[in-house]
Amino acid sequence: MSTPVIKPTAVEIFAAFFRIGVTSFGGGLVAYLRDEIVAGRQWMSEDEFLAALEIGQTLPGLNSVNVAIIAGRKLAGPRGAIAAATGLVIPGAVILVILGLLYVRFRNNRDVAAALAGIAAAAVGLLFQVTLKIGAKQFFNPLDLFFVLLTFVLVGLYHVSLPVALFLIAPFAIILRRPRKEAVK
């Protein structure tokens, strides 16, 4: 575990994450974060980053924002966490405000509506690909596939509220994957 000799200030952290927030077009934010924090600035070791990602993925919330919070806290405490998260989120949020205002103004324009329909159709394809890619392992395991389909049907088709669905499904899904004694030795 290598920790940086000189810890960055909150301003430096904000600047670094702001840069990611401006340049990270097209999703896959975690890879951008890794490039900047581990490879670029060397603020964290590869191991520290993977540990942060593991926490970020387990807890609720966006993985990228969670990793930013953990990295920022390690580097400069609460101020670092705030600097990292705001730096990451603000540029995209501002750009979305501008896109949103343009959308509200021009949505009834024939050309804009046609382009937006194409954009939305492509976005569905992107989400579908990400789902298939992340879920590759689950789709080929009968038990996992059962929980995938159960969740999809309850939440997606029957609109069972998400907290209810989680309370109903998660305990069984976790118990069936409980730690095995023989695997521990």
Partner 1 sequence: MRELVSLLNVFCLLSLLAVGGGSAVLPQMEHETVTVHQWVSADDFATIYSLGQMAPGPNMSMVGLIGFKAANHAGMSDAWAFAAMLVVLLAFYLPSSFLTYAVSHMWDSFKENPWRDSVQKGMAPITIGLMLAGVHAVGKTASYNPEHSFHFNTITIGVGLAVTAILFAKHINPALLILAGGVVGWFCLRGI
Angle at the Cα of 93 from the Cα atoms of 87 and 95, rounded to 5 degrees = 110
- From 32, 34, 41, 54, select the one nearest 13 (Cα to Cα): 41
User: Cβ 43 to partner 1, closest distance in Å?
Assistant: 16
User: Cβ 5 to partner 1, closest distance in Å?
Assistant: 23
- CB neighbours of residue 124 within 10 Å: 9
How distant, in Å, are the alpha carbons of 61, 92, 125, 133, 143 from that of 96?
20, 6, 21, 27, 40
Encoding tokens for residue 124? Answer: 């569905």
Check if the beta carbon of residue 76 is closer than 8 Å to that of residue 11: no
- From 83, 88, 41, select the one nearest 65 (Cα to Cα): 88
Between residues 5 and 134, which has the closer beta carbon with respect to partner 1? 134
User: Cβ 92 to partner 1, closest distance in Å?
Assistant: 3
Between residues 5 and 174, which has the closer beta carbon with respect to partner 1? 174
User: Cβ 8 to partner 1, closest distance in Å?
Assistant: 18
| Beta carbons within 8 Å of 36's beta carbon, 6+ residues apart | 16, 17, 19, 20
- Start-to-end CA span in the chain (Å): 27
User: Cβ 21 to partner 1, closest distance in Å?
Assistant: 4
Which residue, chain included where needed, has tokens 């590869």?
Answer: 46
